[in-house]
Structures are given as structure tokens and as C-alpha cells.
Structure 1
Amino acid sequence: MSTPIQDGVEAAAKRAGQIRDLYEILENRINGRVWSTHELMLGFTNDVGTVGRLILAKEGTWDIDGDATAQLEHKLAESMWWVMVIAKRLDIDIADAFASTMEQIEAGLTHAVEVD
């Protein structure tokens, strides 16, 4: 039985897939093929680097043009999109993976805080 969080992640992953489908149409038109998993990962890591610079900008240690918060919102959401797209490409159910990972982390943390 799924949880509301799993349902939300599943819905987000479905939407990410719809957007990816549009990118694949463009990639086929422009390149004659869709991006490989490796190329997807390079796109993701590029955006992660941008997130790092935007965090510096938000904290006032890196100059950028524009609104750091708005740009961070966009890049963080885009980073979630990359994760969902890559998970689908690798045949990983990201909703189940997220739920089970959070349960494992919670169990470990609960045990750690109860030890005190």
C-alpha cells in the first residue's frame, strides 16, 4: 500500500517523464538520437554545480545577476527532475526507493537519539 508521500513522488516522476518525452522529441530532431544515460548524468551534475554557486550567491559570497532565491527554486526543482529521469532510465522506482530510504534513515536516527 502506498503512502501519500509515495503518491506525490510518483506523480512528480510521471510529470518529469512527460517533460523528458518532449526533450526526446527535440533531441531526435537535432541530434538524430536521445541523450544517453551518461549525457543525462552530465546534465544533472552541471545543474548541481549551479546549485552550489547559487547557494553561495544567496549567502552573499558569490555575485550573480538576478534573484538567487528564484534561480535556486528553479535549479533545485530541475535537479529533482534529473533524478527522476535518471531513475526511470535505470528502471528504478524512485517513489519506492525514496520511501524505503527514508524509513531506513528514520529507523537509524530514531535508534541514535534514543540511545542518549
Structure 2
Amino acid sequence: MDLNEVSERSVAIRVAYHALEREYHGSEWSIEEDALAFLTDASLAGRLTMSHEGRWPSDSEDKLPAKIGECVWWLAVLADRMGLDFSDCVTKFLEDTEQALK
């Protein structure tokens, strides 16, 4: 799957979640709330990684692949909400980092 498809599918899922937020809470989450949710999931990915490596006790290690996927999903959503092209963000980072390491 390419990054443009990741972005498109991520945005569509986020639209559905926004509908649920309006239904249950009367408003959509802000960009800041989305960023905090991403940070929470990134932290959970860290704990699950520690568990995977035998450094943290957990019975949820099997959730690591989904949590990593969710973190990518959040990044695509955050890029979109801030008017950035997710694929361009990743491409630019990789190109700049590769150039810096030469």
C-alpha cells in the first residue's frame, strides 16, 4: 500500500470517528486532542515493544502490530488536519536524512 492510499483511508476513518464524537460529545476532537491521542498510542507502542523484548511484563504483546498501525494512522490524520501531504512529509524526511548521512 502506498502512502497516498494510507492517507486517504486514514482520513475516511477519521471522518467516521468525528461523527461519533459529535453524537456522543457534541463536538469533534481538536487537532490538539488528536495529537494527544497519538502520543498516548505511541507510548503504548513503546510499552508493547518493551514487552516484546522481555523488558516489561504484559499479556497484550500481540497488540503491538495493531498499535504500530494505529500510530501511522494518527500521523496520516494529523498531517491531513494541518493541511500537509502525508506522503510528502515522509518523502522529505527520508530524503533530507539520507542526504545528511552521506
Summarize deviations over 1:37-63 as a string: whole Å, max 9, x none.
111011011111101110110111211
1 CA distance for matches of 2:17 and 2:58? 28
2 CA distance for matches of 1:108 and 1:41? 28
Q: 1:39 maps to what in 2?
A: 33
Matches within 5 A, 1:6-85: 8-66=2-60, 68=61, 70-85=62-77
Q: Tell me the CA shift for residue 108 of structure 1.
A: 1.6
Unaligned runs of 5+ in 2: none
The count of aligned residue pairs is 102
**Whose radius of gyration is greater, 1 or 2?**
1
2:96 paired with 1:108:
no
**TM-score normalised by structure 1 residue count:** 0.83
Question: Aligned letter for 1:35?
Answer: W
**TM-score normalised by structure 2 residue count:** 0.93
% same residue? 32
Q: Tell me the CA shift for residue 97 of structure 1.
A: 1.6
Unaligned runs of 5+ in 1: 1-6, 112-116
Question: Aligned letter for 2:87?
Answer: A
Q: 1:3 maps to what in 2?
A: none
Summarize deviations over 1:60-105 as a string: whole Å, max 9, x none.
1211124x1x311010000000001111111011111211221111
Runs of 4+ in 1 over 4 A off after TM superposition: none
Question: Aligned letter for 1:51?
Answer: A
Summarize deviations over 1:7-51 as a string: whole Å, max 9, x none.
811110000011101101100100111100111011011111101
Q: Bigger shift: 97-106 or 24-33? A: 97-106
Any idea what SS the aligned residue of 2:29 has? Answer: coil
Matches within 5 A, 1:85-100: 85-100=77-92
